[in-house]
Amino acid sequence: MRMSLGGYLLAETGKSIWRNKLSSFLSCGTTALALFLLGVAFIVRLNLGFTLEVVQQQMEVQAYLQRELCDSDCAAVFEAVQAMPGVAEVTYVSKADALEQMKEWFQDKSAVLDGLGEDNPLPASIRVTMTDISLIPGLVEEIRLLEGIDDVQYQDEAAARLQSLGAISQAVSLGGMVIVGLVAIMVIGNSIKLTIDAKRHEIAIMKLVGATDEFIVGPFILTGVVLGVLGGVLGASFAIGLYTWVASAVQAAVPFVPVLNLTLETGKDMLIVMLSTGVVVGVLGSTISIRRYLRV
């Protein structure tokens, strides 16, 4: 024999994958599907975290002041809010500021608003950002009790919905991943069982001449790992490809929705988890068949 142990392992692994092309392909395919679903779950989670962060940063409580309030009253409200616990930043938006902002939003159509110059109908407001998003409901209640407040608004429902939507889609894709993952383990196991069946005679001879179980089993385990990792790479590529496509479509259609840009930095954990899941699926698949069929 002109090869080393490593060469032998690789050659045997290559042979066993090539001999059972169809079942190897199926093994890779199902693993890829399982890991694709895992990838989707991951991306959903990453995006959700990102969106929540963005929303949290943007989430501010807007307290509209009564229109007839004088400047000193306004200042008193401002100070009262500033003193409340958990408040990060408070900005005062005067009537004139509010109008300016509205003009900015309308941009080229801002001429419509020119007529409002003297009789500005917009109320002055106080905008509050919090150190912790969970403190918002309490703050809102407190502000409502202040003298001179007309209305208090914040986007609590948006955040809650976002959270439950994310949880549901994550549960669905993780559940799908578990089911398809189990199928993948069985398909890989079957693929390796075929190889073992074909090599029964050879395995018996190897045992006869004193090969250890590890020596005999090595190529089968490696075959499982290779199939699992190939499936992992395939699944990850599909998930990333699909996401990139969807993300750019979303970005083009609704530019103000925050979408996470998938880079090596943000996707690193995902890649590690996906590839190691591929390895685990491969090892489990091959170990199952080896245990069942290697008693020669």
Partner 1 sequence: MIRMKGVSKVYEAGVTALDQVNLEIKKGEFVFVVGPSGAGKSTLIKLLYCQETASAGQVLVGGKDLSGMRRREIPHLRRKIGVVFQDFKLLNDRTVAENVAFALFVTGAARRDTQKRVAQVLATVGLSDRQRAYPNQLSGGEQQRVAMARALVRNPELLLADEPTGNLDPKTSVEIFKLMERANVYGTTIVVATHARHIVDSMRKRVVEIRDGSVVRDDRRGAYNR
Cα–Cα distance between 47 and 245 in angstroms, integer? 15
Tokens of residue 51, six digits: 């969106």
Closest approach, Cβ 7 to partner 1, in A, equals: 10
Cα–Cα distance between 231 and 8 in angstroms, integer? 23
Examine residue 87 and tell whether it contacts partner 1 (CB under 8 A). Answer: no
Can you tell me which of 5, 83, 111, 264 binds partner 1, judged by CB under 8 A? 5
CB-CB contact of 173 with 37 (8 Å)? yes
Examine residue 206 and tell whether it contacts partner 1 (CB under 8 A). Answer: yes
Tokens of residue 74, six digits: 């306004």
Examine residue 9 and tell whether it contacts partner 1 (CB under 8 A). Answer: no
Cα dihedral sign, 192-195-197-203: negative
Stretch that binds partner 1, among 66-74, 166-174, 187-195, 209-217 (CB under 8 A): 209-217
Number of residues that bind partner 1 (CB under 8 A): 18
Stretch that binds partner 1, among 27-35, 66-74, 87-95, 200-208 (CB under 8 A): 200-208
Closest approach, Cβ 34 to partner 1, in A, equals: 34
Stretch that binds partner 1, among 67-75, 104-112, 133-141, 208-216 (CB under 8 A): 208-216
CB-hemisphere CA count at 13 Å for 155? 15
- CB nearer to partner 1: pick between 1 and 112: 1
Closest approach, Cβ 5 to partner 1, in A, equals: 7
Distances (CA, A) of 239 to 8, 177, 199, 218, 235: 34, 13, 36, 31, 6
- Which regions of 27-161 does DSSP assign to beta strands (E)? 60-65, 87-93, 125-130, 149-153
- CB nearer to partner 1: pick between 141 and 213: 213
Site string for partner 1, 17-36 (x = CB under 8 A): --------------------
Examine residue 202 and tell whether it contacts partner 1 (CB under 8 A). Answer: yes
Which helix (DSSP H) or strand (DSSP E) does residue 15 occupy? helix 5-19
Examine residue 112 and tell whether it contacts partner 1 (CB under 8 A). Answer: no
Closest approach, Cβ 24 to partner 1, in A, equals: 19
CB-CB contact of 128 with 21 (8 Å)? no
Contacts with partner 1 by CB under 8 A lie at: 1-2, 4-5, 8, 201-202, 204-213, 215
